[in-house]
Amino acid sequence: MKRPPSIGWWLTRLLGPLALGLWAVLVVVVALITIAIGSLGEVTSSVWSGARWLPQYFLLVLGVAVSAPSLRVFVAHGRTRRDVLVGGVVHGALMSLLVAVLMMVGFGLERFAFGLAGVEQFSGVDLLGSAGSTATLFAQFLVLYLAYFVAGWLICSGYVCFGGWIGTAILPVAILPALIAEAVSWRESITGSLVDGFDLIAGPGMLAVPFGLTLLSLVAIAAMLRRATIAPLTIR
């Protein structure tokens, strides 16, 4: 019998093109905004950095999509709870990696265009000017997107497993890793050293905090998957 495809790989093949399409649209929109700003006045800093908020909410929605409600569908097709957990982790990691790469490509394209126009992308600093700063920025995006994906997964699983009251009560805890990852990336209250909203000091040590909390969230998701009731599908 032919082995069924990995849930994580199947979901990524299904939704990866969507991420690519949304990125292409975002590039066009940012380019038009940049041209409009240049026509009305002067472009003084990165416009693409303003688009950094959208992908994290996209990953949050993807996390919701692989939460506990999907468990019944996969189990009905012969997959185990462990398959769903591993598949969700693989899918989240691959999509976070893809979106982080796309964001970095966007910064690279903007840097090239700004260089041709003689415009400084970030005030006094070239975030993509060295391998170290580029890797740091990429790592921040990767951890941020993975944290938001897992947060969406955990939030929806909490509502499905425990109901509305308890699900709402644990919501602040579920979203905490994502908020901390965001804070480490570009919140002045964490390190006090920002360059146009991006913190160059947030190295592996600081990123380990939201990453560790994200792993703990996955442990909680695994426990919820074991607890979730799989009701039979009914056709009315």
pLDDT of residue 6: 79
- Rounded Cα distance between 16 and 95, Å, is 7
Task: Summarize pLDDT for 76-129 with one digit per residue, the tens.
Answer: 677 777 888 888 899 999 999 999 999 999 988 988 888 887 877 776 667 777
Q: Tell me the domain boundaries of the chain.
A: 7-227
Q: List b or e across 111-148, with b for residues whose CB sees 16 or more CB atoms inside 10 angstroms.
A: beebeeeebebbeeeebbeeeebbebbbbbbbbbbbbb
Name the most confidently modeled range: 62-71, 135-144, 195-204, 224-233: 135-144
Q: What pTM was computed for the model? A: 0.84
Task: Summarize pLDDT for 42-73 with one digit per residue, the tens.
Answer: 777 788 888 878 899 999 999 988 875 566 67
- Rounded Cα distance between 109 and 57, Å, is 23
End-to-end CA distance of the chain: 33
Per-residue pLDDT band for 3 (boundaries 50, 70, 90) equals low
Q: Please determine, for residue 190, whether its predicted confidence score (pLDDT) is greater than 50.
A: no
Q: How many other C-beta atoms can be found within 10 angstroms of the C-beta atom of residue 172?
A: 9
Asked if 186 and 194 touch (Cβ cutoff 8 Å), the reply is: yes
pLDDT of residue 235: 44
Q: Please determine, for residue 223, whether its predicted confidence score (pLDDT) is greater than 90.
A: no
Which of residues 216 and 192 earns the better pLDDT score? Answer: 216
How is residue 225 written in tokens?
């998957």
Task: Summarize pLDDT for 133-175 with one digit per residue, the tens.
Answer: 788 888 888 999 999 999 999 988 888 777 788 888 888 888 8
Which of residues 210 and 149 earns the better pLDDT score? Answer: 149
